[in-house]
Amino acid sequence: MEDLLKVLKEFSKEDIERLESFDRQYRALEKLHKEIKNPPDFLKLVVINALMSYQLQMKGEKYWETFSEFFSEKPEIERFEEFIKTYNKRFLNAKLKRLDKVIKCVEKLFLNHPLIDLGKDLTILVKELSECLNQKTDSKTVVFAAKMFMYGYRIAFGENPKKLEEIAIPIDSRLSKISSDKNFWKELSEKSGIPQIRLDAVLWIPMGLEESFLKELPEELKLKVGRIIELVREKNSSRNSLRK
């Protein structure tokens, strides 16, 4: 952890925000937002899709780009069943059943809480969705929905929601290569001073960055990201050697 912590402390808030803007998922939302001028409609679609983003049949970045293209044509919640059947059909029957519940929960959230309230306290979104969906507040899909709402909110309003530091990290297969221990991430966040929901981007994005995207980064940030990639590779290499 110490080597990773040392590099993380070099990242400023501006570095993190800039890196997030290079996330292909963030860019997919930017494109969608250009077609949907109404923030509640835009953010409802984002949160619903985040809550359905599991057991995907393609990389997460590609899935969100596909989502953006699909709903840019006609941004209607009623089209989600068609989207899931076409692009997210692993365990399809279970997902369609969940989709009905997710849509009701998201509609209820936005009905009961204006965007200004969610912007002042993002934990409201986490608590409300976890209760409605009967999931833990640190469950992967719920906190991932908070992360994507954060992206969407910043795109729509030019600023981040508040109380990010109280939200857990969405541990997926990519991040679990570093650690699947939630306490590890909590401790790393506390020591680095980076909220878990944003720590996710600092590590998740570099692990999936394509060479073309890496070249677009400012030189200083590119060096920091390069160190992150190197550390993760070393960690994975040592873990694989132990398994042999």
What length is written for the chain? 244
CB atoms within 10 A of CB 133: 19
Distances in Å between the alpha carbon of 45 and those of 77, 148, 183, 211?
7, 10, 31, 30
Cα 150–Cα 199–Cα 43 angle in degrees, nearest 5: 10
Helix (H, G, I), strand (E, B) or coil at 210: coil
Is residue 37 annotated as a catalytic residue, yes or no? no
CA gap 71, 7 in Å, rounded: 38
Q: What is the CA radius of gyration of the chain?
A: 18
Helix (H, G, I), strand (E, B) or coil at 168: coil
CA gap 54, 135 in Å, rounded: 14
Residue type, 136: K
CA gap 159, 75 in Å, rounded: 24
Angle of the 39-51 helix axis to the 123-133 helix axis, nearest 10: 50
Which residue out of 31, 62, 127, 140 is catalytically annotated?
140
Is residue 235 annotated as a catalytic residue, yes or no? no
Catalytic residues: 140, 172
